[in-house]
Amino acid sequence: MALPPTHPLVDGRTQSSPLIRAFRGERPETLPVWFMRQAGRSLPEYRALRTDVAMLDACLDPALASEITLQPVRRHGVDAGILFSDIVVPVRLGGVGVEIAPGRGPVLEHPIRSASDVAALRPIDPDVFSPIREAVALTVAELGSTPLIGFAGAPFTVAAYLVEGGPSKDHLRARTLMHSDPHTWAALMNWAADAAGEFLRAQVEAGASAVQLFDSWAGSLGVDDYVRRVAPHSRRALDHLRGLDVPTVHFGVGAGDLLAAMRGVGADVIGVDWRMPLSEANRRLGGSTPLQGNIDPALLAAPWPVLEAHVREVVDSGRAAPAHVVNLGHGVPPDTDPDTLTRLVELVHSLPR
Angle between helices 231-239 and 155-164 (to 10 degrees): 120
Q: Is 122 a catalytic residue?
A: no
Flag whether 41 is marked binding: yes
Instruction: State how far the Cα of 161 lies from the Cα of 96, in Å rounded to an integer.
Output: 12
Residue 310 counted as an annotated binding residue: no
Task: Identify any residues that bridge with 148 across adjacent strands, giving them in sequence order.
Answer: 81
End-to-end CA distance of the chain: give it in Å, rounded.
36
Of these residues, 86, 215, 268, 296, which one is catalytic?
86
Select which of 13, 21, 37, 236 is catalytic: 37
Q: How many angstroms separate the CA atoms of 226 and 219, rounded?
A: 10
Q: Is 41 a catalytic residue?
A: yes
Q: Strand, coil or helix: what is 9?
A: coil
Three-class SS of residue 108? strand
Q: Does the annotation mark 173 as catalytic? A: no
86 flagged as catalytic: yes
Confirm whether residue 330 is marked as ligand binding.
yes
Q: Is 38 part of any known ligand binding site?
A: yes
Is 50 an annotated catalytic residue?
yes
Does 37 show up as a binding residue in the annotation? yes
DSSP one-letter code for 296? -
Strands laid side by side in the 148-153 sheet: 81-82, 148-153, 210-215, 248-252, 269-271, 291-295, 324-328
Q: Which of 24, 50, 173, 353 is catalytic?
A: 50
Q: Which of 27, 41, 275, 284 is catalytic?
A: 41
- Taking the C-alpha atoms of residue 246 and residue 268, their distance in angstroms, rounded to an integer, is 9
Task: From residue 209, give the alpha-carbon distance in Å to each of 35, 203, 323.
Answer: 16, 9, 18
| Residue 344, amino acid | L
> Which residues is 33 bridged to in the sheet?
326
Annotated active-site residue in 92, 161, 201, 273: 161
Known binding-site residues equal: 37-41, 86, 161, 216, 330
Q: Which residues are catalytic?
A: 37, 41, 50, 86, 161
Known binding-site residues for substrate equal: 37-41, 86, 161, 216, 330
